[in-house]
Amino acid sequence: MPVHAGRAGGPSVEDFFPLWRRGKAGPWAAHRLDQDTAGCLLIARRKSFLLAAQALLAGGGAEKRYWAAVRGVPAEAGGEIDLPLAKQSEGRRWRMVPSAGGAPARTLWRVLGAAGGDALIEFTPLTGRTHQLRAHAAWLGHPVLGDPVYGAGGGMMALLARRLALPLPEPVEATAPVPPHMAAFVEACLGTL
């Protein structure tokens, strides 16, 4: 489900905000997730919290970890991708592509395990660009399974916003459970969850 209402219509997370509202303002989504990404989404109920959370997210002060099932197994155990990205449009479709003139985009990655010729990778974005992890995974030569834009599609996208932590005066931490469509693969890579 998309966080915000899109051109195609259909339900979005923000459609449920009136049910959670207390008073005249809020809640607000503090950040976004791609429509097919499962996991942690931070929603603020107070404006002061929203501003503090967004400042941490924009300034790189929040810890974000993602798990992705990717096609194939990288030859290396991990590394850092420092690859600027720019939006490329073709008609109504668009995607993020490597570009020297693009916005800086940095991602740490490490292989957590492998099964059936594919790998489970933990990504730690150091910047927050649109489609950053999906574009970086494809650039590595190991696109996210099910990704219709940067990979071959064919099912639900196997990308999970696994952990989110904000070092606020009252710290905020969340770890998302593995969604059903990724569970068997994650268990094969890591053992019992």
| Domain extents in the chain | 26-190
The percentage of the chain sitting over the pLDDT mark of 70, rounded to a whole number, equals 99
Q: Which fold is adopted by the domain 26-190?
A: Pseudouridine synthase (3.30.2350)
What percentage of residues in the chain have a pLDDT greater than 90? 78
Residue among 105, 122, 102, 124 nearest 113 (CA): 122
Residue 25 has pLDDT above 60, yes or no: yes
Q: How confident is the model at residue 71 (pLDDT cuts 50, 70, 90)?
A: very high
Look at 46 and 133; give whichever has higher pLDDT. Answer: 133
Least confident of 43-47, 115-119, 142-146, 184-188: 43-47
Identify the band that residue 192 occupies on the pLDDT scale cut at 50, 70 and 90: low
Report the alpha-carbon angle 10-128-113, nearest 5: 90
Give the start-end residues of each E strand in 41-150: 43-44, 63-70, 78-82, 85-90, 93-98, 106-115, 118-125
The mean pLDDT of 2-10, rounded to a whole number, is: 79
pTM of the model: 0.93
pLDDT of residue 10: 84
Note if 34 is an active site residue: yes
The residue annotated as part of the active site, out of 34, 36, 118, 147, is 34
